[in-house]
């Protein structure tokens, strides 16, 4: 090897060594910066852990159990009622289109079909207040027909149910 080849090889080795040192310095600098950054925290993490490790069921016995079950049912009903259905619309037709149409267009569970004056006549004769009450509280008819409370959607407000009943009744007049 000539002196020129030794010189090029030495300069190349120095350059590679310098780049290796620079790489190591950059890696350690990045690690130091990373260690000083605040860690991201999830404020929902304790709730998620609690939900994940919660028991799948519970055993209730006696009066204490009945009280606990009633409290759980009340809390579930309150949570459902706090969410207003269908964006809070009070348009009876919109509520019918979203919920009531599934039973009242096909006659499921003995539901009178919309616009069927023969089926709605006796019901309308009882008065609109009775229809509204049955729609809000639910109804089991003597002939086996069934109306779940609030059409099966507890998030509906009484006003929304009332408006839907009025719209359906208007179609049968």
The CATH number given to whatever domain includes residue 115 is: 1.10.760.10
**Most confident region among 2-11, 43-52, 71-80, 108-117 by mean pLDDT:** 2-11
Q: Which residues are paired to 146 by β-bridges?
A: 140
Q: Residue 140: what are its φ and ψ, rounded to 5°?
A: -115, 110
Do 93 and 32 lie in a common domain?
no
Q: 141 and 76, same structural domain?
A: yes
Which ranges constitute the DSSP H helices of the chain?
3-36, 45-53, 62-82, 92-95, 101-104, 117-125, 128-137, 158-171
What would the pLDDT profile of 27-59 be if each residue is shown by its tens digit?
999 999 988 887 777 788 888 888 888 887 767
Instruction: Tell me, yes or no, whether 18 and 80 share the same domain.
Output: no
Same domain, 98 and 140: yes
Are 79 and 10 in the same domain? no
Q: What is the pLDDT of residues 157-170, one digit of tens each?
A: 888 889 988 888 88
Within this chain, do residues 29 and 75 fall inside the same structural domain, yes or no? no
To the nearest 10 degrees (0 to 180), the angle between helices 117-125 and 128-137 is 100
Residue 44, pLDDT score: 83
Q: Using CA atoms, how far apart are residues 163 and 129, in angstroms rounded to an integer?
A: 12
Q: Are residues 134 and 81 in the same domain?
A: yes
**pLDDT value for 150:** 87
Question: 81-98: per-residue pLDDT in tens?
Answer: 666 777 777 788 888 888
Is the same domain home to 33 and 95?
Answer: no
Between 153 and 19, the more confident residue is 19
CA separation for the pair 96, 89 (Å, rounded): 11
**φ and ψ at 125, to 5 degrees?**
-65, -25
Domain that holds residue 114: 48-173
87/115 same-domain check: yes
Closest CA to 168 of 95, 107, 110, 109: 95
Number of domain units in the chain: 2
13 in the same domain as 84: no
Are residues 109 and 26 part of one domain?
no
Residue 85 shares a structural domain with residue 140: yes
């Amino acid at each position: 090897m000539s002196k020129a080849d030794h010189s090029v090889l030495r300069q190349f080795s120095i350059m590679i060594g310098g780049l290796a040192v620079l790489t190591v310095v950059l890696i350690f600098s990045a690690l130091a910066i990373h260690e000083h950054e605040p860690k991201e925290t999830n404020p929902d993490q304790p709730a998620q852990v609690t939900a994940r490790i919660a028991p799948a069921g519970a055993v209730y016995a006696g009066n204490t159990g009945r009280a606990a079950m009633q409290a759980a049912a009340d809390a579930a009903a309150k949570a459902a009622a706090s969410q207003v259905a269908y964006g809070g619309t009070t348009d009876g037709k919109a509520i019918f289109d979203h919920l009531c149409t599934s039973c009242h267009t096909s006659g499921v569970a003995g539901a009178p079909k919309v616009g069927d004056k023969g089926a709605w006549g006796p019901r309308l004769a009882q008065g609109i207040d009775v229809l509204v009450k049955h729609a809000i509280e639910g109804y089991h008819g003597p002939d086996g027909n069934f109306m779940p409370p609030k059409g099966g959607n507890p998030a509906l407000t009484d006003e929304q149910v009332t408006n839907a009943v009025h719209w359906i009744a208007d179609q049968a007049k």
